[in-house]
Amino acid sequence: MTVQSNGTGPSGRRLKRLLSPSEKYEIWLALVGGEYTISQAADRAGVDRSTVMKLRTVARQGSLDALAASKPGVRPGGPDLELAAAKAEIARLTEALKEMGVRLMLAEGKGRWG
């Protein structure tokens, strides 16, 4: 398989190029800002126009999903599981300490104090 100098393979098709997330973001910003058309962005990045169109669609859908999930005043993630476990452990130890105090008082009695 030989690679021609213009970035195409032996069949004349453009070779597949993987874009990093930061490159995708820069392309998306340029498209949203109106700096480039889809064709210009594809040529600049060295990818096919369909790649840029898919990138635009995925970014738009991801943005809509994130905005739909965010609600004012509500934090995602729910309750803190570590805090809940710590509070349950404190309650368990408190009850155990009370029980041990009662057992100690029954075993030794109040005879020495009175």
Per-residue pLDDT tens listing for the chain (114 residues): 444 455 566 777 666 778 888 899 899 999 999 998 999 999 988 898 999 999 999 999 998 888 888 777 656 566 778 889 999 999 999 999 999 988 888 888 765 655
Give the number of residues written for the chain: 114
Instruction: Supply 98's token pair.
Output: 């009370």
pTM of the entire predicted model: 0.51
Residue 76: the pLDDT is 59
> In Å, how far from its chain's centre is CA 29?
21
Rounded to whole angstroms, how far apart are CA atoms 12 and 72? 52
Residue type, 13: R
Instruction: Supply 76's token pair.
Output: 């995602």
Residue 8: the pLDDT is 63
Kindly report the number of other CB atoms within 10 A of residue 51's CB atom: 21
* Inter-residue contact 47 to 17 (CB < 8 Å): yes
For 110, half-sphere exposure in the C-beta direction (CA atoms, 13 angstrom radius) is: 2
